[in-house]
Amino acid sequence: MNTIWKAVFGLSTIIVAANCLTCRQCSVGIFGSCLFGSDAICANSTESCYTGEAQFNATGSLTLHTRGCLDSDLCGLTLTGSVLGGAYTSAYKCCVTDLCNGATSVQLSAALCAAILLPLWEFWEL
C-alpha cells in the first residue's frame, strides 16, 4: 500500500511541477525593452510563455512588444486588425521553459514549486 501512495505522490509532483511555468510578463514594451515588467505564473498547463510584437503598418517603424502567458493554440499565429483606423500586424512566438521569454533567472519558479511540494512530501513521509 505504501508503494501506491508513493506512486500517487510522484505523479502529483509531476503534475504540480508542470503547472509551475513562470513567464516574464510585460504589457507594453518599445524598442525591445519591457516597461514595468514582472514575472507571472501561467494559470494552466495549456499555456506557454510568449513574446508578441505588434507593428503598425502606417508607420512601419513603431513596434510594440508584449510578453506573458498565452494559450498554446495561439502560438505561432500572425494576426491583423485595426485600431482607430490604423492597421497593425501582430505575431506571437512561444516557448515552454521557465522565463524563456526574456527574464534573467529561474529562482522564483523553483522556489515556488519547492514551497508547494515540500509540505506534500512531509505529509507522505509520516
Report the distance separating Cα 97 and Cα 19, nearest Å. Answer: 11
What residue ranges define each of the domains in the chain, with the CATH number in brackets? Answer: 2-125 (2.10.60.10)
Report the distance separating Cα 74 and Cα 105, nearest Å. Answer: 25
Report the distance separating Cα 62 and Cα 102, nearest Å. Answer: 20
Report the distance separating Cα 20 and Cα 33, nearest Å. Answer: 25
**What integer best gives the mean pLDDT of the chain?**
75
**The pLDDT value given to residue 15:** 47
CA–CA distances in Å: residue 15 to residues 24, 32, 103: 22, 34, 24
The predicted-structure confidence for 6-55, as pLDDT tens digits, reads as follows 544 444 444 444 557 999 999 888 777 787 889 999 998 899 999 999 88
